[in-house]
Amino acid sequence: MELTDLTIKKAHQGLVNGEFSALELCKAYLDRLKEKEKEISSYLTVVEDFALSQAKKIDDMILEGRDLPVLAGIPCAIKDAILVEGIRCTAASKILENYIAPYDATCVKKLKGEGAVILGKTNMDEFAMGSSTENSAFKITKNPHDLTRVPGGSSGGSASGISANECVFALGSDTGGSIRLPACFCGTVGLKPTYGAVSRYGLIAFASSLDQIGPMAKTVEDCKIVFDVISGKDEMDSTSVEPKLKVQSEKLKVNELRIGVPKEYFIEGMEKEVERVIKKVIKKYEELGAKIEEISLPHTEYALACYYIIALSEASANLARYDGIKYGYSVSDKPASLMDVYLQSREEGFGPEVRRRIILGTYALSAGYYEAYYLRAQKVRALLRKDFDEAFKKVDVILTPVSPTTAFKIGEKINDPLKMYLSDIFTVSVNLAGLPALAIPCGKTAPHHFAKEVRKQKRFNKEKIFSSGNKNLLQSGGGLPIGFQIIGRPFEENVILSLGEIFEKYGRAH
Amino acid sequence: MITKKEVKHIAKLARLGLKDKEIEKFQKELSSILGYIEKLKEVDISKVKTEIQPIGIDEAARKDTEKPKPKIENSKKLLELAPAVKNSYLKVKSIF
């Protein structure tokens, strides 16, 4: 087995057993990264020297015979919206192009405390605004399963990095699906924790009532390991809480669980392959003994409109801090007035999607429109949350697809903002309700007519064809990952993670 | 449909400079997005009290005790990030 194929658990065992050193592990990832970055572009910043020095420290610990925390020496990547002291942090925006993080985000501090080795900062949509990572001011990240397609967004670089074995795990942030959608498109696991479960101190704010940091990894178990490290109350984030409900995963019995399947999440226009694979997952859980119940979340069709009003309004307020004065990009030729410093710095520093959202959010909050838009959206949000409260009286978890489609082509939606927003249709409700949700890969699209062509060739190397970018072979989109989502009650991350582990154990092999 | 005048007014409120051709682009895009958002008017919200409280947060306030003074090195780090500084102050354009 290659060092860069390892999960956290396996890499940890290897380090403990002395099969390889932390330095060797780190170097293997840096080599892999150098090779893969040419085609994938997951990272905005790679901190080779910093990574090596961190790894060296872990090897010293091993030499001294000290106990090794499970994340010690494990190479990871951090979304570029999360601060790592002394390292450039851009949020993929020109306005923060030269911003050096003056402190560690709490979750980063916790990872460092466990000895995790940070390799670099991953690409994303500018200020996490987007569903494809195409809104980055710096580079386009490719989906490792098909280089002509997007990795999803906004935590696209974190997902593609894991999928291309450029890191063992990564941190992302999720405001309306930004962990789950890229995890789904790239065939990795991603957890959006309950609002408040992970401190957001040191996360560059997008929409404060929705934002949440979470882990992304190759397996559910790995996500669980990272979540356990980064979660908990932090006095630097007044919205963070200590989880009160600790459900012991060993006690979880799948035959005592009721899984709700909301009819509103199986809509017209959904890709047939997605529907087929998700239904198979539901059937698998049923075979394992879970009770499947059809449920209704009646306000689902209003979730996206509600989400955009709230997210954009909050974004317009949060992004007011970029003024060309305190930090970040400032217009270089001397404008006549202070007002012009604001206008021009923000005009030149922000990309098109961010500007669009600031304007929309400002409009929704402006005099005369506040009640019609923001206040109304908050009320609809309360109704959406009530839908979930009602549903959770009848079922323990809710199972849905992550997205109605698989990864789309680069450029396909970038000129149609509304079409791009619709990518988040199955993920935004969870943020509005503040719930935890886990995205898990569960299969790939069948290669259709593509298969016929390929079956003729006996020595068919799947990976080679997918990464060759040969458009003729990829027309049908075969081989693209499909993911499902398990939504839990507030602070019941352990339940959804355990249910995910059960699927990984029993559901995959068939 | 949003007017060009409205787009300009909102952009100014948002302190966002716009080029002339962008005004038209934003006018179209915003109108289409706002058209979609009109959907929310279908929902009966007459019985809903506004509820914005996140889940499970009861004691967010810290104790009212003196905090240690911030370190000078931290202030220096922050000042280094500023585009223009004079004598440890942020420098801005004259406002008159």
Residue A245: pLDDT band (50, 70, 90) is low
Give percent of chain A above pLDDT 70: 92
* pLDDT tens per residue, range A102-136: 999 999 999 999 999 999 999 999 999 999 999 99
* Token representation of residue A245: 């409900």
pLDDT at A446: 84
Output the average pLDDT for chain A.
92
Tell me the average pLDDT across A403-432. 95
Residues of B in contact with A341 (CB under 8 A): 92-93
Joined tokens for residue A13: 């065992």
Are A313 and A365 within 8 A, CB to CB? yes
DSSP string, A185-217: HHT-EEEEPPTTSB--TTBPPS-TTT--EEEEE
CA nearest to B22 within chain A: A352
The answer to whether residue A271 scores a pLDDT higher than 70 is yes
Structure tokens at A23: 């330095």
Greatest CA span in chain A, whole angstroms? 71
Residues A346 and B16 sit within 8 Å (Cβ to Cβ): yes
A188 within 8 A of A163, measured Cβ to Cβ: yes
- Nearest residue in A to B7, CA atom: A359
At A269 the pLDDT is 84
Would you place residue A244 in the very low, low, confident or very high pLDDT band (cuts 50, 70, 90)? low
Give strand ranges (E) for A188-334.
189-192, 213-217, 258-262, 291-295
Which amino acid belongs to residue B20? D
For residue A506, give the nearest of A189, A291, A260, A287 by alpha carbon.
Answer: A287
Q: Which of A299, A323, A348 sits opposite B43 (nearest CB)?
A: A299
The pLDDT assigned to A478 comes to: 81
pLDDT for position B93: 85
Find the CB nearest B92 among A329, A338, A385.
Answer: A338
Q: A423 is written with which tokens?
A: 């990518």
Q: From A332, which residue of chain B is nearest by alpha-carbon distance?
A: B83
Q: How far is A162 from chain B (nearest CA, A)?
A: 31
Lowest mean pLDDT among A65-69, B42-46, B68-72: B68-72
Q: May I ask the CATH class of domain B4-41?
A: mainly alpha
Confidence class of residue A6 from pLDDT cuts 50, 70 and 90? Answer: very high
Between A249 and A370, where is the model more confident? Answer: A370
Confidence category of residue B54, pLDDT binned at 50, 70, 90: low
Which of the listed ranges A161-175, A233-247, A456-470 does the model predict with the highest average pLDDT?
A161-175
Tokens of A352: 């098109």
The minimum CA-CA distance between B34 and chain A, rounded to whole Å, is 8
- Inform me whether the pLDDT recorded for A453 exceeds 90: no
Identify the closest residue of chain A to B44 by CA–CA distance. A380
- Nearest-by-Cβ selection for A378 from B10, B50, B60: B50
pLDDT of residue A496 exceeding 50, the answer is: yes
Write phi, then psi, for B74 (nearest 5 degrees): -65, -40
pLDDT band for position A267 (cuts 50, 70, 90): confident
Give me the residue from A343, A359, A380 closest to B10, CB to CB. A359
- Average pLDDT in the A419-440 region? 96
**A232 has a pLDDT exceeding 60:** yes
Beta pairing, strands A481-487 & A43-46: unpaired
Task: Determine the pLDDT at residue A475.
Answer: 41
Q: Which of residues 12-51 of B touch A (CB under 8 A)?
A: 12-19, 26, 29-30, 32-34, 36-37, 39-43, 45, 48-51
What sign results for the dihedral spanned by CA atoms A448, A453, A459, A463?
A: negative
pLDDT of residue A467: 44
| Rounded alpha-carbon distances, angstroms, from residue B33 to A390, A446, B1 | 31, 35, 10
Give B72 or A81, the one with higher predicted confidence.
A81
How many secondary structure helices (H) and strands (E) does chain B include?
3, 2
Query: pLDDT (tens digit, 9 = 90+) per residue, A467-484?
Result: 444 444 444 458 999 999
Interface predicted TM-score (ipTM) of this complex, two decimals: 0.92
d(C-alpha A293, C-alpha A274), whole Å = 20
Chain A CB contacts of B51 under 8 Å are: 378, 381-382, 385
Q: Domains along chain A?
A: 3-230 (3.90.1300.10), 249-292+401-507 (3.90.1300.10)
Please, what sign has the CA dihedral across residues A231, A234, A239, A241?
Answer: positive
Which residue did the predictor score with more confidence, A500 or A451? A500
Residue-level pLDDT at B58 = 61
**pLDDT tens-digit map of A312-332:** 999 999 999 999 999 999 998
What was the pLDDT predicted at B55?
Answer: 61
What pLDDT score was predicted for residue A249? Answer: 57
Q: Tell me the nearest-neighbour CA distance from B1 into chain A, angstroms.
A: 13
Quickly state the pLDDT bin for B67 (edges 50, 70, 90).
confident
| Shortest Cα distance, chain A CAs vs residue B61, angstroms | 7
Q: What is the pLDDT of residue A448?
A: 56
pLDDT-derived band at A354, boundaries 50, 70, 90: very high
Give me the residues of A, 298-337, that contact B with CB < 8 A.
299, 301-302, 305-306, 308-309, 316, 320, 323-330, 335, 337
- Tally the residues of chain A: 510
Nearest residue in A to B15, CA atom? A343
d(CA A409, CA A415): 13
Neighbouring CB atoms inside 10 A of A288's CB total 16
Of residues A196, A340, A356, nearest to B54 (C-beta): A196
Q: What are phi and psi of A80, to 5 degrees?
A: -75, 15
Q: Is A296's Cβ below 8 Å from some Cβ in B?
A: no
Q: How far is residue A492's CA from residue A246's CA, in Å, rounded to a whole number?
A: 7
Average pLDDT over residues A195-202: 96
pLDDT at A235 over 60: yes
* Min Cα–Cα distance to chain B from A27, Å: 31
Question: What is the per-residue pLDDT for A253?
Answer: 86
Q: Which H or E run contains A442? A: strand A437-444
Q: What value does the mean pLDDT take over residues A150-160?
A: 98
CA dist A222 and A212 (Å) reads: 18
